[in-house]
Structure 1
Amino acid sequence: MTFKSVDEILEYAIGKEEEAVAFYTDLSKKDTFASVKDTFVSFAKEEQKHVEMLQGISADTAKVETYELKKVPDLKISDYLVETEYKEGMFMQDILRIAMKREEMAVKLYQDLSEKADNAEFCKLFALLAQEESKHKLALETMYDDFLADNEN
């Protein structure tokens, strides 16, 4: 993937974030997932914040400059899972696998975009977004691990 401008990078990232909003919003509406509905609603809202951040970056770069980057633990559970497509009626652990892989790919996307950006502010923005997606990945991996532990009994 080659980008010719920062605007192209941002457009691409916004599209990916909008896909994530739609994905989590759709999952939150499934009746069978009432136990984690709030989590998916929360993730959809977080992804929407990313869309808004990317859309408004030129107007408010101060937020990016003051954002503190921190290391987010990585359980690496999704690293060993095969990507699959969502199908109606999937088991919860399969849906969590899909969500974990999506977040893993988002982290990689933003890390790659950070490397391609030639502007320090945008490098930090993409690092910030990679961190946010890492938080989602960690939450999903923890949820997945807990789900499996609860269902072993």
Structure 2
Amino acid sequence: MNENEVCYTFDAAVEMAIQMEEEGFRNYLAAIRKVTNKGAREILSENALDELNHKHQLEKALLEGNMAGDASLEQTIPTMHLDYILKKEELGPNSGVREAIIYAIHLEKGAVDFYGKVANGCSGAPMGKLFAQLLKEESRHLQALEDLYEKHFMTEN
């Protein structure tokens, strides 16, 4: 097991995930406060609410000592890896929907990477399933953002 493959106790793992979701929410909130474009604010707000929902699920799991699985998330969600070709930039008052989606793609990719590392490190442990589930949820969000970007901003459409 290398330094990127570390497994934690259930409580420690869930606390880390809660912190990750809180940071994601705070990043979206800061971005919302910067942009004036209504569409951009809506995209960022929807994603901020997703982060709050994840945080609430995790806090509930911490209280209950486990997290119920979601049968709809049994398959890994493929993404287009747009984060590699779309440069992340800070948002400002003149940022539009395109910039907001790119910003959100990069935030979600960070969460996917985090949960992927912890899921791999905890493979076989009870909390490994929890992080695999969170990885799939974040991958689903990333895929939805990439699909939205593709629909509205890719040249072939």
Q: Tell me the TM-score normalized by structure 2.
A: 0.75
Q: What is aligned with 1:83?
A: 88
Which has a greater percent of helix?
1
Q: What is aligned with 1:21?
A: 25
Provide the rounded CA distance (Å) in 2 between the counterparts of 1:62 and 1:15: 17
Q: Give the conservation status (yes or no) of the 8 Å contact 1:14–1:51.
A: yes
The total of aligned residue pairs comes to: 152
Provide the rounded CA distance (Å) in 1 between the counterparts of 2:12 and 2:20: 12
The one of 12, 16, 25 aligned to 1:12: 16
Identity of aligned residues (%): 25
Q: Give the conservation status (yes or no) of the 8 Å contact 2:119–2:131.
A: yes
Q: Give me the CA root mean square deviation.
A: 3.1
Q: Residues 47-86 of structure 1: matches in 2 within 5 Å?
A: 47-58=51-62, 59=64, 61=66, 63-64=68-69, 68-86=73-91
The runs of 5 or more residues in structure 2 that have no matched partner are: none
Provide the rounded CA distance (Å) in 2 between the counterparts of 1:95 and 1:63: 32
Query: Which fold has the larger relative contact order, with Cα–Cα distance below 8 Å and residues 6 or more apart in sequence?
Result: 2
The runs of 5 or more residues in structure 1 that have no matched partner are: none
Q: Tell me the TM-score normalized by structure 1.
A: 0.76
- The 3 A distance-change label for structure 1 pair 67 and 149 is closer
Q: Give the conservation status (yes or no) of the 8 Å contact 1:78–1:141.
A: no
